Structure 1
Amino acid sequence: MNKSIWMAVVLALGGCASAPDTKFEASNEAKDIAQKYILVDGHIDVPYRLQDKWVDVTKATSDGDFDYPRAKAGGLNAPFMSIYIPASLDDSPQSTALAHKLIDYVEAIVGRAPDKFAIAKSPADVEAQFAQGLISLPMGMENGSPLQGSMDNLKLFYERGIRYITLAHSLANHISDSSYDIRRKWKGLSPFGKDLVVEMNNLGIMIDISHVSDDAFYQVIELSKAPVIASHSSLRRFTPGFERNMDDDMLKALANNGGVVMINFGSTFVDQVSRGWRITMGEKRKAIEAEFGADSPELENFEEEYKKNNPFPYANVDTVVEHVDHVVKLVGIEHVGIGSDYDGVGDSLPIGLKDVSTYPNLVQGLLDKGYSEEDIAKILGKNLLRVWSEVEEYASKH
């Protein structure tokens, strides 16, 4: 599809007519594959984006990474809506209230446009809705804080549609240690966290190990009787020292468990140069704060000025493809998927993957690597749907 036709398609859907990056423009074959198969994205932060500022994503929006026209153009069929709870609210009634509010937002999206969207609570829902031309909105909770140590809360959130839970976020909570938190409060999972793994298995909620510490990851793998997921993680091989990503031993353990890692698109997740830039900027900011104070004029426009003088080194489609390819070569095609983190990683998205209209560029990168249509279909969605089905099957017997 040439650029003028692409723009016409998006305009016809009511979307923004900004063209894809020409260097990574996808072929007709790539675009056809993206439309032909169910495309699951394990993590999109639309609900919290709406918490910051309500916009109607059932129509074209002028900002953000997701709306209906762009999702249709990109072939996105099943974006997991992230019910994200900031660590600042950990283990509080406010965290539970916010989780319910964000689920309400997802329901409101469907209520505004039932001809475009539908809540999905099972792989069967996703498949049926795909056949009807609807975009499924399954939900995952990012940060288990809203559970507040209650299995009754777990069951309530299951009833409302939560189908995976990221056990912790940027700080240790009452469930698990976090990869970002230097305090290892539990040395992995808490006693409640260990019980929670068992109950999530029994109920049919996928366990998401993105964000947790390495010790917590291995404890989950040891305890879980069903496959687990990393809903939006990339690979430590390409970002040495970044515990938020997964190393090769973890990938092997995840594969032995039958699980899937869903690759995060953020440049600082997939590229060491991008990550180094972010670290250096943070260090310079801390130095200025230490010298002049947190409220000093020197910090007023710091980030804007720093970026102007030191342009951010974006990753690109090929960088993300390298992460996918490494998983495939290490543990097999069945254990990798997509977890973009759209609307969650700010302006750090790679060149060629700037919003949900650009999945065909990723498909093109996989085609260029020699991947078959059948294998690409697994990466796009079949792998995650398999895991979800196996989690359901285990729960049905317990």
Structure 2
Amino acid sequence: MLSPKNYQDYPAALRQLYQELDGAPQVFRGERDARPLIGLSANYNASGSCIARAYTESIIQAGGLPVLIPLTTDIEVLRRYAAQIDGLLLSGGDDLLPAYLGEDPIPTLGEVNPERDRSELLLVAEAVRRNVPILGICRGHQLLATAFCGGMYQDIYAQLPNAQGHNPQIPKTLPAHQVCLQGDSVLARVLGLQDGDAIQVNSIHHQAVSRVPKSFRVTALAADGVIEAMEAYPEKSILSVQWHPEQMAYAGDVLQQKLFAHLVSEATLFAQAKAVHRSVIVLDSHVDTPMHFTPDFDLRQRGNTLVDLPKMEEGLVDVSVMVAYLPQRERDDDSLRQATNYAVDKLESIRRLTFAHPDIATVATTVEEIRRAKELGLRVIVPAIENGYAIGKDISNVARFGEMGVCYITLCHNGDNDLCDSARKSKQEHGGLSDLGREVVREMNRQGIMVDVSHAAPTTVRDVLSISTAPIIASHSSARALCDHPRNLTDEDALAIAERGGVVQVCLYAGFICEQEEAASVVMAADHIDHFVRLLGIEHVGIGSDFDGDGELIGCRGSNDLIRLTVELLRRGYTTTQLRLLWGENFLRVMETAKAQSKCQ
């Protein structure tokens, strides 16, 4: 069908059309060069879902592939769209239903479309959970404010004194009024401008954002104080404007076209990040989720924990190493027995809650099982123990935990135990490892359980390295050179771990990333990764979030957000090969080596 040899039988107009198609150069694109798929929220009229051509053409000119997302309130359909698109453009349109603002309508409220409001709010929620880059325009700007509990004017002319005309009778392809950029913003950098610069825009609206939501900031204002732009960086890749850039961009305005180029650029990186996550094993080496398990906890239910199966799916995370965490308590015989029983209970809970959903998740205890699960599309939970306090003084517990599938044991937590000295709350009673601790390390080697030195004092780290026959790990530790915290590793200790074949997994706990915890972000976490990669080599670095144990950063607040770290690393030039090592293969190498060496003992 449609072969050139048959064209002579076609009507002239059809033949000419197909010959034009055949004559157009065919571009063969690699995965990293492919145009990103940009979803556009649809307007709605009597004929159904529709969109102005200026939106689609602006996306095409910027290098994206636009796809219209029709109006629907089917959550599963919207969820599938959010999973497939690489970027989202929220278009203009009707007023928003005041109920979503917690308000009653005022007399001058315009026409609303409750079905569209519901559809787009659901779409935004799903897209944000998956970290899809978003550009909001006019109503889309207002929709974002509504979605994140910001404030809105239902009608600026009724509610904002001295409001200027925001619907001038000037062709929308021409500039109509000024907006002034505010602060050092992504918007200013995208436009190639700076704080205080003014640009010419064109608008058509009577509603406006009155208060930006938490995590957003104002980046442009009109002369009457109307918030003309806001952004959520570095929390999310979201930028929105009150004006209509698409008509001016379609007419050839280079400055306005930069907004669409930015969306396409962010979407391209996000598409690459998704491709990486789908092709490599993405492993988070330390999460404390089991400490939040309750009798009715369900891993399949999206809940308040930072890690669950829906969040792993949204972030395309394959493996979470879930630890049975034990805070350091008293060390008398009864307390030690309770600690061991508590660890056993948590390990059994990990298996029970995971095996409750065999269609989507499994427990793995070997590298081979992890790889097989990845091939089958299953999320993987790997059990571990945080704090050798669980062992007590009974070395046989090491083998017992090994039989339960524990892949590593963190020797201590905050405070010394019977095995070793801790990096914090320590009296340095052992000067590193105790005699029992030395025996435990040797037994862990025999059982093929990795020795984890996160939380351990420097003296403990050095003692472990002097006696362990297998490479060791720091399951969740960051760089002391960048953040002077006693829980972080010095360059000297990190090098010693790497020189013996081990791996340092960068922790995403704010206080270990930046001394000003409130400022710690996913960008700074990438700085720690960069530091260790330069110092140790890419083969000795990984990521252990510490989610649900206080690990959380601006821009990375759960398993679904780990893909934002991949985006940041791609932005810095990391390759798929490097990310494959960083995201899992380095940890798996040490895990496999520990198992292999145990068979030789």
1:301-312 pair list within 5 angstroms: none
1:301-340 pair list within 5 angstroms: 313-340=518-545
Residue in 1 that maps onto 2:592:
389
1:225-273 Cα offsets, whole Å, 9 max, x none, are 1100000111101112x22110100111011111001111111111122
Aligned length: 355
Q: Larger strand proportion, structure 1 or 2? A: 2
Q: 1:187 aligns with which of 388, 406, 431?
A: 431
Partner letter of residue 506 of structure 2?
I
CA distance in 2, matches of 1:11, 1:56: 24
Instruction: Classify 1:59/1:77 alpha carbon distance in 2 versus 1 (closer, same or farther; 3 Å).
Output: same
Gaps of 5+ in 1: 275-312
Contact 1:44 1:82 in 2 (8 A): yes
Partner letter of residue 525 of structure 2?
V
Gaps of 5+ in 2: 1-36, 42-68, 70-76, 85-121, 132-234, 239-265
Partner letter of residue 337 of structure 1?
G
Per-residue deviation at 1:145?
1.0
- Whether 2:486 is the aligned partner of 1:243: answer yes
Partner letter of residue 249 of structure 1?
E
Partner letter of residue 595 of structure 2?
E
CA distance in 1, matches of 2:540, 2:368: 21
Q: TM-score, normalised by structure 1?
A: 0.84
1:171-201 Cα offsets, whole Å, 9 max, x none, are 1011011111231110101100011111111
SS in 1 for 2:508: coil
Per-residue deviation at 1:168?
0.6
- Percent identity at matched positions? 30
Partner letter of residue 8 of structure 1?
R
Instruction: Classify 1:261/1:2 alpha carbon distance in 2 versus 1 (closer, same or farther; 3 Å).
Output: farther
CA distance in 2, matches of 1:264, 1:327: 12
- When structure 1 is superposed on structure 2, of 81-90 and 359-368 the one drifting more is 81-90
1:44-193 pair list within 5 angstroms: 44-51=287-294, 54-61=296-303, 63-88=304-329, 90=331, 92-193=336-437
- Whether 2:513 is the aligned partner of 1:270: answer yes
SS in 1 for 2:407: strand
CA distance in 1, matches of 2:360, 2:82: 17
Per-residue deviation at 1:55?
2.3
CA distance in 2, matches of 1:41, 1:10: 26
Residue in 2 that maps onto 1:303:
none
1:29-67 Cα offsets, whole Å, 9 max, x none, are 11221122111111011111115x742121222x12011
Residue in 2 that maps onto 1:232:
476
CA distance in 2, matches of 1:396, 1:353: 39
CA distance in 2, matches of 1:74, 1:251: 29
- Whether 2:580 is the aligned partner of 1:366: answer no
Q: Which has the larger radius of gyration?
A: 2
Partner letter of residue 265 of structure 1?
L
Per-residue deviation at 1:151?
2.2
Per-residue deviation at 1:23?
3.1
Instruction: Classify 1:224/1:7 alpha carbon distance in 2 versus 1 (closer, same or farther; 3 Å).
Output: farther
CA distance in 2, matches of 1:10, 1:65: 23
CA distance in 2, matches of 1:179, 1:102: 25
Per-residue deviation at 1:390?
0.8
- Whether 2:94 is the aligned partner of 1:23: answer no
SS in 2 for 1:243: coil
Partner letter of residue 179 of structure 1?
A
1:276-291 pair list within 5 angstroms: none
CA distance in 1, matches of 2:273, 2:487: 31
CA distance in 1, matches of 2:361, 2:564: 24
Per-residue deviation at 1:12?
8.1
Question: RMSD of aligned C-alpha atoms?
Answer: 2.3
Residue in 1 that maps onto 2:554:
351
Q: TM-score, normalised by structure 2?
A: 0.56
Instruction: Classify 1:12/1:34 alpha carbon distance in 2 versus 1 (closer, same or farther; 3 Å).
Output: closer
CA distance in 1, matches of 2:356, 2:499: 42
